């Protein structure tokens, strides 16, 4: 079995993860966005949030984050660099109350990738390129994650979540993914 750690990522082990239920096969990839404070890029606050070390007094908008225990498998910054917080075979706490294809608790069977961004800021070419590389790595580990099983957080938590938002160019991402597959 391949390693469940990305060879091209920085690695930091988040405390906010656990073992997946054995009866669940990993077959879903969920794309999110995050920036802390909202719309500010290049800070260390996302790392701090996923590592459980965020200073909730550092910004007025952080008061809602007090006691929050969340993580993602990976976070892709605007420059395309990626940090992996949770090995793919473990359950990251990214989806919250969620449902896909008649199944609830998507954290049990999904991989969560966060992009540094907002619903309204266009993502960078570097982010799309890295997302494609991460997707290919994940699909090699979990072949049931096909294009129809790659979704936004908005798709598994409609009415509660809107990310990755209208600024995420799904057609561009899938074209890049198709072209990358053709070159393999």
Provide the CATH number for the domain around residue 61. Answer: 3.40.80.10
User: What pLDDT does residue 51 have?
Assistant: 98
- Asked if residue 23 belongs to a domain, the reply is yes
- Asked if residue 3 belongs to a domain, the reply is no
Pick the catalytic residue: 23, 25, 114, 126?
A: 114
- Asked if residue 2 belongs to a domain, the reply is no
**Residue 143 backbone phi and psi in degrees, to 5:** -60, -15
Q: Is 114 a catalytic residue?
A: yes
Give the range of the structural domain holding residue 40, as residue numbers without chain letter: 10-182
The model's pLDDT over 51-82, given as tens digits with 9 standing for 90+, comes to 999 999 999 999 999 999 999 999 999 999 99
Total structural domains within the chain: 1
The model's pLDDT over 90-106, given as tens digits with 9 standing for 90+, comes to 999 999 999 999 999 99
Closest-CA residue to 80 (of 44, 134, 32, 14): 134
Of the candidate ranges 43-47, 60-64, 160-164, 179-183, the one whose mean pLDDT is the lowest = 179-183
Please state the rounded mean pLDDT for residues 8-34: 96
- Asked if residue 120 belongs to a domain, the reply is yes
pTM above 0.95, yes or no: yes
**Residue 60 backbone phi and psi in degrees, to 5:** -55, -35
- Asked if residue 14 belongs to a domain, the reply is yes
- Asked if residue 1 belongs to a domain, the reply is no
DSSP helix/strand/coil, 151:
strand
User: What pLDDT does residue 2 have?
Assistant: 65
**Cβ atoms of 67 and 54 closer than 8 Å:** no
- Asked if residue 71 belongs to a domain, the reply is yes
């Amino acid at each position: 079995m391949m390693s469940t750690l990305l060879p091209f990522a920085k690695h930091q082990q988040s405390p906010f993860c656990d073992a997946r239920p054995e009866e669940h096969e990993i077959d879903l990839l969920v794309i999110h966005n995050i920036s802390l404070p909202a719309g500010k890029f290049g800070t260390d606050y996302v790392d701090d949030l996923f590592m459980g070390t965020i200073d909730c007094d550092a910004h007025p908008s952080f008061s809602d984050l007090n006691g929050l225990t969340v993580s993602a498998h990976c976070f892709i910054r605007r420059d395309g660099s990626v940090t992996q917080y949770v090995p793919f075979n473990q359950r990251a706490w990214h989806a919250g109350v969620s449902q896909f294809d008649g199944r609830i608790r998507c954290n049990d069977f999904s991989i969560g990738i966060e992009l540094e961004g907002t619903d309204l800021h266009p993502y960078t070419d570097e982010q799309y390129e890295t997302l494609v590389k991460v997707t290919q790595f994940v699909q090699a580990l979990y072949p049931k994650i096909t294009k129809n099983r790659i979704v936004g957080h908005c798709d598994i938590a409609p009415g509660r979540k809107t990310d990755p938002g209208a600024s995420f160019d799904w057609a561009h991402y899938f074209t890049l993914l198709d072209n990358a597959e053709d070159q393999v």
